[in-house]
């Protein structure tokens, strides 16, 4: 698969935005609240499934090679952090949202919001699941799945649902404008 220079730049921009979102954070005891989900979801909405996926793979790859772009640093050892599962969830999230949105012939709030919620579901399934596994099997501390949900989902779900509304509201306004102006990314080609 060959990417154009324009596509590579857009993929890089969304990877960079996700990194910036990591530093806009509210610290909490185990899992910091950041704006990474916002930019991850936007990468799917505006780039489509494949290119949104690439942007999040690029973001995670840059962090794993040692650039401190994650909420708590970077480097290969970051895979042992309890929060690494959320990063894997961003990859699935962006791809899922993008694949759904790029196939919508008409853009409505409900359609986009549903796609974003499905992407958010993958963030939390990967994030909470990984948190549970790392705490129990790597850190050798006892944590029930219910406790992992209590620590890794409940404090953040309300703000992420609000962000999901914001993402859907802006997408409903922006995507038709981009389509009308002839924007040629695969996200906006299906009419």
Positions in the chain whose pLDDT score sits under 70: 28-32, 184-191
pLDDT, position 27: 73
Ordered by start, the domain boundaries in the chain are 5-188
pLDDT, position 78: 97
List % helix, strand, coil for the chain (3-state, nearest 5).
Answer: 75, 5, 25
pLDDT, position 28: 65
pLDDT, position 44: 97
Cβ–Cβ < 8 Å for 169, 109: yes
Share of the chain above pLDDT 90, in %: 82
CA 31 to the chain's CA centroid: 15
* Architecture field, domain 5-188: Orthogonal Bundle (1.10)
Whole-angstrom Cα Rg for the chain? 17
pLDDT, position 138: 97
Structure tokens at 118: 């499905």
Q: What is the DSSP string of 95-159?
A: HHHHHHHHT-SS--HHHHHHHHHHHHHHHHHHHHHHHHHIIIIIS-----HHHHHHHHTHHHHHH
pLDDT, position 30: 59
pLDDT, position 147: 97
């Amino acid at each position: 698969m060959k990417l154009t220079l324009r596509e590579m730049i857009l993929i890089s921009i969304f990877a960079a935005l996700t990194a910036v979102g990591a530093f806009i954070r509210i610290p909490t005891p185990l899992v910091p609240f950041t704006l990474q989900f916002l930019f991850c979801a936007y990468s799917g909405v505006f780039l489509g499934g494949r290119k949104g996926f690439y942007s999040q793979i690029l973001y995670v790859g840059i962090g794993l090679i040692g650039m401190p772009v994650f909420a708590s640093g970077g480097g290969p050892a970051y895979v042992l952090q309890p929060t690494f599962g959320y990063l894997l969830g961003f990859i699935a999230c962006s791809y899922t949202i993008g694949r759904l949105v790029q196939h919508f012939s008409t853009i409505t709030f409900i359609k986009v919001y549903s796609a974003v919620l499905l992407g958010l579901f993958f963030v939390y399934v990967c994030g909470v699941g990984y948190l549970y596994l790392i705490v129990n099997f790597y850190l050798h501390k006892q944590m029930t799945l219910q406790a992992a949900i209590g620590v890794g989902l409940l404090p953040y779900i309300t703000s992420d649902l609000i962000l999901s509304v914001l993402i859907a509201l802006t997408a409903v306004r922006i995507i038709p404008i981009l389509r009308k102006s002839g924007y040629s990314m695969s996200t906006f080609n299906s009419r």
